[in-house]
Structure 1
Amino acid sequence: MSTLTAPATAGMATEGFRQALRRFASGVTVVASVAPDGTPRGIVMTAVMSLSFDPPSMLIAINRTASLLPAVEHSGRFSINVLGSESRDWCQAFATSDVAARFAAGDWALDDAGVPVLRDALASIVCDVDQAEPFGSHMVIRGLVRATHFRQDADGLIYLDGRYARSHTFD
C-alpha cells in the first residue's frame, strides 16, 4: 500500500491536484453560446456535470479568462454538446483553432433561442443561466435545462490522462 503525504507547498498541492485529476476520466463536451456581437463562442470542456432532475439542471465551470464567459454572461444561455468518439479529430481542431474560426467546421445550428447547437453531437443540452458565482479561477454556472437532443448510435468521447479515448460499455 502506498503512503499519502501532504505537499510541502501550495505549488506542490496544485500540481498534485492536477496530476490526480488527469486520472479522472471525463466526457468531452463543447459548451457554446453567442457573444454580444452575435458571433458564436465555444470551448472544449470537461468541467460539466448534471446537477438535478427536479428541476432539470446542469453545472459548468468556465475559466474566468475563457473567451466563452462573456458570451454566456451576455446571452444568459448556453449549450452543452456531448461529443461522440468519432469527433476526436474535429474536437482537437476546435480546441486549437483561433476563437473566431472554431465554428467554421462542424454542423452547427441555432436553436429557437439563438444558442449554437452541434447537430451531430451525441447529446446537446440547452440551458438558461440560473445562477453564476465566481470561485477561484472559474465562474461556476448553474443552468436550467430548456431543451435536449440526443442520438444513440455512437460511443462517447472520453478524456483521460491528457489523451482522448473511446467509451466502451460492458454487457
Structure 2
Amino acid sequence: MCTPLAEEASRLDLGADLKTAMRRLAGSVSIVTSRDEEGQPHGMAASAVMPVSIDPPSMLVAVNRSAGLHAVLQHSGRYCINLLADDQHALLEPFSQSTLRAQRFRSGPWRDAWSERASPLPWLEGASAVIACIVDQAVDYGSHTLFIGRVTDVRVDPAPVELHPPLVWLAGHRARLDLHSS
C-alpha cells in the first residue's frame, strides 16, 4: 500500500518520464495569437495544436493556465494559429520566453485580418498556413486548458510544401524534414 508521499513521488516520476518520452515525438511548431480587450496583441509558441474535426472545421490548442495568453483567450474567445515554416525558426525565441514579450510582434511581418470572415487577429505573413478560430469549448485538464475552436477562416501559402517545409521540433531542437518523393 502506497503512502500519500509515495503516491506523489510516483506521480512526479511518471510526469518526468512522460516529458522525456514526449521529447521523442516530433511535432510542428505554431504561434498562437489573439488580442486582449484593449486590442493589444498576445501570442505564444505552441506545439500542442491539432485538428479536431473537419465537420465542423475545428482546431484544438492546449494552453498552460500560467501562460499570459491563457486569460486573453478566455476573455476574447478568439485565436489564430500560425503554422510556421522551417525558415521562420527565429520567431520562436521571443514567443517562447516571457522576458522577450515586448519583441514578439516586432519579430516578423505581422498583419491583421486577411478577409471579411477573419477576425482582426495578428497573423504572420509568410506562414505556411494561418487558421482563425472562435472558441467553442474550453476544457480544463491538469495544468492546461484545451481550447477547441470553430474555424472561421483559413489562409494557405501557395508555395509548394517542398519549398516551404514546416518547422519541426524534436528533443528540444529544430529538426529538418527530407521531403523528397520516392
TM-score by length of 2: 0.85
Contact 2:94 2:103 in 1 (8 A): no
* Deviation at residue 126 of structure 1 after TM alignment: 0.4
* Deviation at residue 118 of structure 1 after TM alignment: 0.8
* Deviation at residue 100 of structure 1 after TM alignment: 3.2
1:79 aligns with 2:80: yes
Write out per-residue CA displacement over residues 37-96 of structure 1, whole angstroms, 9 at most, x where no aligned residue. 211000000000001110000011100010111111121110000000001122224323
Q: Aligned partners of 1:107 and 1:71: how far apart in 2?
A: 22
Q: Which moved more, 1:27-36 or 1:161-170?
A: 161-170
Give 2:127's aligned residue: 121
Q: 1:99 aligns with which of 89, 98, 101?
A: 101
Q: After TM superposition, which residue ranges in structure 1, 4 or more long, deviate above 3 angstroms?
A: none
Contact 1:61 1:138 in 2 (8 A): yes
* Deviation at residue 108 of structure 1 after TM alignment: 0.7
Contact 1:85 1:167 in 2 (8 A): no
Write out per-residue CA displacement over residues 8-61 of structure 1, whole angstroms, 9 at most, x where no aligned residue. 711110110000000000000000000122110000000000011100000111
Q: Aligned partners of 2:60 and 2:145: how far apart in 1?
A: 10
Q: How many aligned positions are there?
A: 164
Q: Aligned partners of 2:177 and 2:132: how far apart in 1?
A: 23
1:142 aligns with 2:148: yes
> Is there any run of 5+ residues in structure 1 with no aligned partner, and where?
1-7
Structural mapping, 1:6-17, within 5 Å: 9-17=10-18
Q: Which moved more, 1:157-166 or 1:96-105?
A: 96-105
Contact 2:50 2:59 in 1 (8 A): yes
> Is there any run of 5+ residues in structure 2 with no aligned partner, and where?
1-8
The alignment-based identity, stated in percent, is: 36
Q: CA RMSD in A?
A: 1.4
Give 1:159's aligned residue: 169
SS in 2 for 1:98: helix
SS in 2 for 1:86: helix
Q: Aligned partners of 1:42 and 1:129: how far apart in 2?
A: 16
* Deviation at residue 104 of structure 1 after TM alignment: 1.5
Contact 1:78 1:128 in 2 (8 A): yes
Contact 2:45 2:92 in 1 (8 A): yes
Larger radius of gyration: 2
Q: Which has the higher strand share?
A: 1
* Deviation at residue 145 of structure 1 after TM alignment: 0.5
Q: Aligned partners of 1:59 and 1:90: how far apart in 2?
A: 22
